[in-house]
Amino acid sequence: MLDNLSRLRHSLFIIIISAPAAIAVCGALVYFAYGLNRNGAIVAALISLLLILFIFKYNSPSGENELRALKNISLQEWLLFLAYFALWLIALWFLYTGRSDRPIITPWQVVSSWYFLTYALGTAALFLLGLRSSRLLAPGLILHCLLLFGTAVVVYVVGYGFDPFIHEAAVQAIDKLGQIKPLTPYYLGQYSLVTVGHLLSGFDTSLIGKILVPTYAALLLPLLIFRWLKTHHGAEKDWGLAAVALLILPSVIFIVTTPQNLAYLFLAIVLFLPSPKPSRQEKIISALAALAALVTQPIAGIPAAAIVIGDYLRRNEFGKKLYPFLIALLSIAIPLSLYVFLILGSGQAALIWPRLDFLKELLPSNPNQESWWLNFIYFYRGLWGFVLLGTVICGIYLAFKRKNAELVGRFTWPALALFISALITASLDFHFLIEYERSDYPLRIIITALLVSLPLIVIAFKALAVKLEKLSRWQTLCWLLIIVSAATASLYLSYPRFDHYHNSHSYATSKADILAVRWIEQNANGQPYIVLANQQVSAAALREYGFKTYYKDSIFYYPIPTGTPMYQYYLDMVDKPDRAAIIAAMDLAGVKRAYLVLNSYWWQYNKLVAQTTSLADTVTDIGDGQITVFLFTKK
């Protein structure tokens, strides 16, 4: 009979995988029916609780005695784990001492390089635990993923990226108003989780938004993958090495909270939760996770729903005949929905010759001009495409070789359908987006295809782990060095970079940006105004004042998004300062007051300041010279 500790572990696992999905779905329904103000959030939380209790009605934990499993852990394993935990604390200290509120391009500007050594040594400790198939590997991997996914959360004091500021402003507006117009069926999964999380915990919505995806991914993915390997592939041996090997893969999608990234996690539940003969509880949670993905971001939600529907179809002979039609529908569903979105959004849609820019990520490179470690990092970066495709192909080969109907039907065909979907989407003309963002949608679909292929990658790594068990000590040591080096390089590459090979140009929103938008608001003294500034300053305005002001219904007073005419006026001003350009921007919005914000890191900053000073009414320095604000008025 299972002991209480094992029952508790299983119950916590069910809560971890079902509670966020339940809140996402119930919150979305309440949002449409009433709104997600405080009362709406309370209703959503209560309905979610009832749904979770219903899921526990079908609870049927199975497994070994937990206390007996803990007693079977050897002293060497405990010492290895304690050594890892000490390294983890040191790495966390390096991150904390590197915290910055300045406009950094990359966290590696402020985090000590010793951080990479502690991460590498920690990866080695996990590799050794994996060789022993230790029970302590799962908590070790969770802690390691917290470092991998959470670096930006710790280092960036104001916030990381641009999209999170937009979603944070949306959550704050929903918290006050209950709803924001127009009502849309997407993004609601994240907004519900943050709003209800704020209600239940009392934590600031900004903090919850920052930690949601990195923390949930670190907790969820190791647990799901270990459980999937156990229920589908029997013997415990080699699980650990297969899981550790996943650290060599890029982790960009889990380092920042956006609806798309959260939807990927709900998709992961759909992929990894069901056992070969799924229980009713697993079926309910899978369907719930698919719905949560749909109301969070359809690019991940549509494949999640298709996989759940496919699971039902393949359980009978008639359904198996319909399954190929489902796969064909999946290949066109996302581009078709985007095509409709184009028509509804702009009144027109066009097909073009496919833009295949997103495939350049698969091309190799041969960097050989810098230090050996930087050469290695970018050599590995050039191999990312081959590593991903190679492991997926190996997984597909093993699936067909073993005649594993689940691996073929549940993962292989949907992944191929999504790749076709990406090629079709690349033929759509997203004319309303700025040039460098137009390949964003096909790239998201490719990422979704790779995520659907993740079980195949795990199978390929497990086959490699079986080989490692038969190698000599020196051969195993060589593989340890390869995996540790690749995992550490992946950590470096998963974040923005500023080195001799790459410049991300992704400056962080800084404290000076916050001071600038506050000064502008105070200086305007209630008068209508617009601001021409870069994305980081606009993000600061969203953080401080949300969606405060629109002119003529659709013109936001800061240049958001970057595809709007307001941002083009900003680009015109920093290209060749001209009072006529800013007057035209004021005329567009119908105001008589405008501010131009220049950050000191902008190209030719000193020259631009000198040229613009003679055109402006007043000039003000903010943040010890980090920012210059120019005021323009007209009669």
What confidence tens digit (pLDDT) does each residue in 280-291 have? 999 999 999 999
Q: Are 624 and 594 in contact (CB under 8 A)?
A: no
Burial category of 447 from C-beta neighbours within 10 Å (exposed 0-12, middle 13-18, buried 19 and up):
buried
Predicted confidence (pLDDT) at residue 240 exceeds the cutoff of 70: yes
SS3 call for 253: helix
* Cβ count within 10 A of residue 32: 15
User: Is 70 exceeded by the pLDDT of residue 306?
Assistant: yes
pLDDT at 177: 84
For residue 390, the model assigns a pLDDT of: 87
User: What pLDDT was estimated at residue 64?
Assistant: 54
Q: How far apart are CA 49 and CA 200, in angstroms?
A: 12
Residue 172 has pLDDT above 60, yes or no: yes
196 token code pair: 């209800």
Specify the pLDDT at position 250: 85
pLDDT at 589: 93
> What local confidence, expressed as pLDDT, does residue 426 receive?
81
Q: What is the pLDDT of residue 353?
A: 53
pLDDT at position 503 over 90: no
Mean pLDDT score, 117-144: 91
Percentage above 70 pLDDT, the chain: 89
* 156: β partners: 100
pLDDT confidence of residue 80:
93
pLDDT for the residue 1? 46
pLDDT at 126: 93
Above 70 in pLDDT, residue 233? no
Mean pLDDT value of segment 167-196:
88
Per-residue pLDDT reduced to its tens digit, 340-355: 776 665 545 555 555 5
In which residue are the tokens 């590995």 written? Answer: 380
Mean pLDDT score, 513-517: 96
Which residues are paired to 556 by β-bridges? Answer: 550
Asked if 34 and 40 touch (Cβ cutoff 8 Å), the reply is yes
Q: Is the pLDDT of residue 580 over 60?
A: yes
More confident residue, 211 or 383: 211
Q: Does residue 474 register a pLDDT over 70?
A: yes
Query: Could you tell me if 578 and 572 are in contact, meaning their C-beta atoms sit under 8 angstroms apart?
Result: yes
Residue 146 and residue 122: Cα distance in Å, rounded?
13
Bridge-partner residues for 632, per DSSP?
A: 594
pLDDT tens profile 10-58: 788 899 999 999 999 999 999 988 889 889 999 999 999 999 999 988 7
Mean pLDDT over each residue of the chain, to the nearest integer: 87
In this predicted structure, the answer to whether residue 437 has a pLDDT above a threshold of 90 is no
In which element (H, E) is residue 491 found?
helix 473-493
Q: How many angstroms separate the Cα of 379 from the Cα of each of 362, 366, 477?
A: 13, 6, 21
Model confidence at 279, pLDDT cuts 50, 70, 90, reads confident
pLDDT tens readout for residues 246-275: 898 888 899 999 999 999 999 999 999 988
Measured in Å, how far apart are the chain's first and last C-alpha atoms? 83
pLDDT at 439: 63
Least confident window among 26-40, 174-188, 191-205, 601-615 = 174-188
Residue range 152-160: average pLDDT?
95
pLDDT, position 2: 47
Lowest mean pLDDT among 6-10, 295-299, 388-392: 6-10
**Among 62-71, 319-328, 487-496, which is the least confidently predicted range?**
62-71
Amino acid at 625: G
Count Cβ neighbours within 10 Å for each residue of 371-410 and write b for 16 or more, e otherwise: eeebebbbebbbebeebbeebbebbbebbeeeebeebebb
Write out the two tokens for 367: 């960097």
User: Structure tokens of 146?
Assistant: 């917290």
Please name the helix (run of DSSP H) or strand (run of DSSP E) that holds residue 632, with its range, or none: strand 627-633
DSSP, collapsed to helix, strand or coil, labels residue 617 as coil
The C-alpha atoms of residue 562 and residue 194 are separated, in whole angstroms, by: 26
3-state secondary structure of 551: strand
Contacts with 336 (C-beta within 8 Å, 6 or more apart), sequence order = none
pLDDT band of residue 438 (cuts 50, 70, 90) is low
Would you state the pLDDT for residue 525? 92
CB 368 within 8 A of CB 377: no
Q: Which residue has the higher pLDDT, 332 or 180?
A: 332
Measured between alpha carbons, how far is 374 from 455 in angstroms, rounded to an integer?
31
Exposed/middle/buried for 270, CB within 10 Å: 0-12, 13-18, 19+?
Answer: buried
Which tokens sit at 330? 């999946």
Q: What is the mean pLDDT of residues 562-588?
A: 89
**Closest alpha carbon to 312 in 299, 298, 292, 326:** 326
Percentage of the chain exceeding pLDDT 90: 54
